[in-house]
Every structure is written in C-alpha cells, then in structure tokens.
C-alpha cells in the first residue's frame, strides 16, 4: 500500500526553531496577528514574516492557502511556509491548510509550528491525504518524501492513531481504484482483502461453486465471459455487542468492457475504476479495524470482470437472481446492478442488518446530473439518507438526494421476465438503475444506494487528492458509523 507521510507530534519548543532544518510552517489569521510561534520566526528572520503578512499577496490568499519565504535570514531552514488560517478554523479550512503544506513540502522535512491552532487533527489529515502519490508502476526511483513534525500546545486529547486510521483507509481505497486490471484481478483483489484478517477483521472469500449453490445467477452471468473467477468477499468487524450489524455493499467490477454490448474504445482504459464501490467498502472496513471501532459492521463486495467472449452473457438472455426474480439482460453494460442485486439479497438474508448502504460506479447518467461534485443518494429511508448526507457534508464529501418512485418502475418492466436490467433509453438512467436495486431490498431494511461514478476517480484531482482515485466516501461512512452505530 502507498505509505503515509511520517508524522510526529510534540510540544512547542521555540528555543529549537533557529536550528531547524528543512522547512518551517507557521499559521497567521486574516487579521495579520502573529502567535508566539510566528513571532519567534518573525524575530529570527528580521521581520520577514511581518512584511509578507502586510503584503497584497497575503491579503489575496484564501483561507487554507500558503506562501513561501525562501531562504530567510536568521534561521537554518531552507524556507518558511506561511499559511493563512484562523486560530479556530473550520474543518474544511484546516484540511485545506494541511493540503497546502503537502504541496509545499516536497522532499524536505517540515516542522509545523502549530502553536494553539485548533483542528490540528484536520490539518494533519489534510496533509496526509494530499501527500498521496500512486507510483507503483513507475520504474523511476520514487521521489523522496520528507517527514513532518508537528509542534503544538494543544495535544491533550489529540489521537494521532485516528488520523492515520482514516488516511490509511482512504489510501487503501485509492490504491485499489488506481490499480490496472491486469494487476488487480478478481483473485488479487480478494487476496488483498483477505490480508486484512491481520487487523482483526473476519474475512471469507466465496468462490464460484458456492455462489452457484446460493443461486447468484445475476452476479455470475456478468463474469461468465472472463477467465477470471467471480467472487464475493465478506468482511466482518465485530467491535460492538450482540446487535445486528450495519452493512456496506460494494460493486467490484475490476474491468468493464461492457461485455457483448461493448463500450467505445475511447476512454475504456478508465474502466479499471469500475470496482470503486467495493474499494470504498474495503477502505472503510480497514479504517474501522485500525481504529478499533465499537460497532458491528459487515462489508460485502461482489468481485467480477465483464468481458466479451464465446461464453459471455448475451443481450436478451434471461438469468435468475438469488432472490428468485427472473431478469432479462437487455444490455450487458448495465452489469453493476446485476452484481449488486445478488449481493444485496445475500447480505440481508444472512446478516439481517440494521441498515444497509451500497456503493457503485453505476451510471454515467449521474455524472450528467451532478458532475464530479456530488454522488447521487437514493434511499427508502429519510432517516438513513439524511444521516449519511449530514456525515458527508461534515467531511466535505459531496452527496445529493435523488428521487425514487414507483412511477419509474414501468421503465424496467419486461414482457418476457420479471424485469429487465435497464430502462432502455437515456431518460432517468440513474433513477431506473436505483429502482432496479430497490427490488432487491426488503421493506424492513433501511437502505441507501450511492452512485459514485462521478466522484470515485477524477482526472483533474480534488483539493485533497491528486488526479485519479479520490477515496470519496471512506470518511463520510466512517463518520456515519461513529455517529450512529458505535456503542
């Protein structure tokens, strides 16, 4: 896994500032007032900090942004990073400040003179998340990455393990989603999840023979054209009492050609990210295990590869789901919902969860509707969807409620079977996909479907992630579980 930047934490030692090597970082609010750490650096640098803070360049900075003083006199450090941040910042501003530090750091070690700045954990998390660099398949020697030492007067109650647990979960999701499909095969994916047993998770890998016995005809039809075996992986974290678990379900299509309904060649290489929903579930389970969450949570992912071959499912074929419903496959590129239908039913039958959320890079239509700023949230429960959207907002992960309605059901009704796997046209594509999934959710199960096609991987990157996989959803789901389901 991509390693986190090394971060250490200690009390403020102003006497050591003059001799610090690498880079020094300080925080200054919009009013320009310097705290004790900034005053110390200002004195040593012959008021260079004071002059920078009085400049138009600093006045024009948005909160969480930074400027650099290169090779200031009076200190050993190669530079001083001045970050515009209030003493009591918002979570978003604190994380942006950390991200700004990550972009300035480069190969040099950095000492962050945090003083009495609030939200230190969010500054550290923002720095860790933005420092991510997926270079597993580059032959050049990886660039050196400096360590970060935080000096703070507000370490009481600060838990660095919580910061690293969240960051490692996000990194795990990003690594999985960034991997090419010839590396992250269905078997490799399952093996990586099985390795998390070392963290205290109980992990089971269900192979094709068992899936056939369970009657997962919808899931199995998706992978039947591939030489890679289809699998379902069950991850259990039992950190609570005897209560039923909360369930997370993920679509894990390691590569999606579209099958016989093959996709256009342009951009098909991006379909390595079509297992993004399973990636998020895996990252959340890792975070829960690392921070020893006091909750019972089960993560279940369906892992398949959608390939065209002489054995591939055809448009017009009828398959039988684990629930027993007959599905006409009118488009083999609408495969994610077939995978999820069986995994959702299996999860409910086996675990009787108190609530269930599934994640999937399910439809291009959600990108047309919401762009790359928000995931689509579909739910049969105002309570669960509201709680998730609140958690997502608190973590800065965009999510927007979309409609479900029986009026859309007629679009997936079928002449020869119980339903067909797509509405057939472009109208309401994300909604009809959600309506399909809703047919495999029991009335008593609070459920939400998150369509993350627009947020799982972004070519231009985000404020806290470079281009590629974002890890969206790990922080929001971790917060949801912490707020609602921990003992």
Half-sphere exposure of 172 (CA within 13 A, CB side): 28
Distance, CA of 372 to CA of 123 (rounded, Å) = 24
- Catalytic member of 84, 145, 337, 420: 337
* CB within 8 Å of 204: residues ≥ 6 apart: 233, 234
CB atoms within 10 A of CB 50: 17
Alpha carbon of residue 463 to chain centroid: 14
Q: For this structure, is 337 an active site residue?
A: yes
Tokens of 168: 């490692």
Cβ–Cβ under 8 Å, residues 169 and 290 = yes
* CB within 8 Å of 448: residues ≥ 6 apart: 356, 357, 358, 377, 378, 379, 380, 381, 384, 385, 388
CB atoms within 10 A of CB 156: 6
- φ/ψ (deg, to 5) at 438: -60, -25
Tokens of 441: 């959710």
Tokens of 418: 């119980």
- φ/ψ (deg, to 5) at 401: -70, 130
- Provide the phi-psi class of 18: left if phi over 0, else alpha when psi is between -120 and 50, else beta: alpha
- Catalytic member of 154, 192, 263, 401: 263
Following CA atoms 169, 174, 175, 179 in sequence, which dihedral angle do they give, to the nearest 10 degrees?
Answer: 150
Distances (CA, A) of 46 to 35, 41, 42, 351, 466: 16, 9, 6, 66, 36
Tell me the residue length of the chain.
487
Task: Indicate which residues carry an active-site annotation.
Answer: 263, 337
């Amino acid at each position: 896994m991509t390693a986190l930047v090394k971060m250490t934490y200690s009390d403020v030692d102003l006497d050591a500032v003059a001799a610090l090597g690498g880079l020094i970082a300080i925080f200054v609010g919009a009013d320009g007032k310097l705290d004790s750490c900034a005053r110390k650096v200002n004195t040593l640098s012959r008021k260079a900090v004071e002059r920078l803070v009085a400049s138009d360049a600093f006045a024009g900075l948005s909160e969480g942004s930074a400027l650099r003083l290169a090779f200031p006199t009076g200190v050993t450090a190669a530079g001083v990073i001045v970050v515009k941040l209030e003493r009591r910042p918002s979570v978003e501003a604190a994380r942006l400040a950390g991200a700004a530090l990550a972009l300035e750091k480069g190969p040099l070690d950095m000492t962050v003179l945090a003083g009495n700045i609030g939200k230190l954990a969010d500054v550290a998390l923002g720095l860790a998340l933005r420092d991510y660099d997926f270079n597993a398949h580059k032959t050049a020697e990886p660039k050196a990455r400096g360590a970060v030492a935080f000096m703070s007067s507000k370490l009481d109650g600060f838990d660095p393990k919580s910061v690293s647990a969240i960051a490692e979960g996000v990194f795990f999701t990003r690594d999985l989603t960034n991997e090419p499909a010839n590396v992250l095969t269905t078997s490799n994916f399952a093996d990586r999840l099985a390795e998390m047993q070392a963290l205290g998770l109980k992990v089971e890998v269900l192979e094709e023979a068992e899936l056939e016995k369970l009657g997962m005809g919808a899931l199995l039809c998706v992978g039947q054209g591939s030489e890679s075996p289809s699998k379902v992986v069950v991850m259990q974290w039992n950190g609570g009492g005897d209560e039923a678990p909360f369930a997370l379900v993920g679509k894990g299509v390691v590569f999606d050609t579209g099958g016989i309904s093959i996709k256009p060649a342009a951009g098909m290489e991006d379909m390595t990210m079509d297992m993004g929903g399973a990636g998020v579930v895996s990252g959340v389970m890792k975070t829960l295990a690392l921070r020893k969450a006091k909750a019972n949570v089960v993560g279940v992912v369906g892992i398949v590869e959608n390939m065209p071959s002489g054995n591939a499912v055809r448009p017009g074929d009828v398959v039988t789901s684990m629930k027993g419903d007959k599905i006409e496959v009118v488009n083999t590129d609408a495969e994610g919902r077939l995978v999820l239908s069986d995994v959702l039913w299996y999860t409910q039958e086996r675990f009787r969860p108190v609530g269930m959320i599934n994640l999937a890079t399910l439809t291009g239509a959600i990108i047309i509707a919401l762009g790359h700023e928000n995931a689509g949230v579909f739910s049969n429960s105002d309570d669960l969807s509201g709680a998730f959207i609140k958690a997502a907002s608190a973590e800065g992960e965009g999510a927007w409620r979309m409609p479900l309605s029986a009026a859309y059901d007629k679009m997936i009704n079928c002449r020869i079977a119980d339903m067909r796997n797509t509405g057939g046209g472009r109208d309401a594509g994300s909604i009809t996909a959600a309506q399909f999934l809703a047919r495999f959710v029991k009335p008593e199960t609070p459920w939400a479907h998150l369509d993350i096609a627009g947020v799982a991987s972004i070519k231009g990157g985000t404020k806290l992630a470079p281009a590629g996989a974002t890890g969206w959803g790990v922080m929001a789901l971790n917060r949801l579980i912490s707020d609602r389901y921990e003992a």
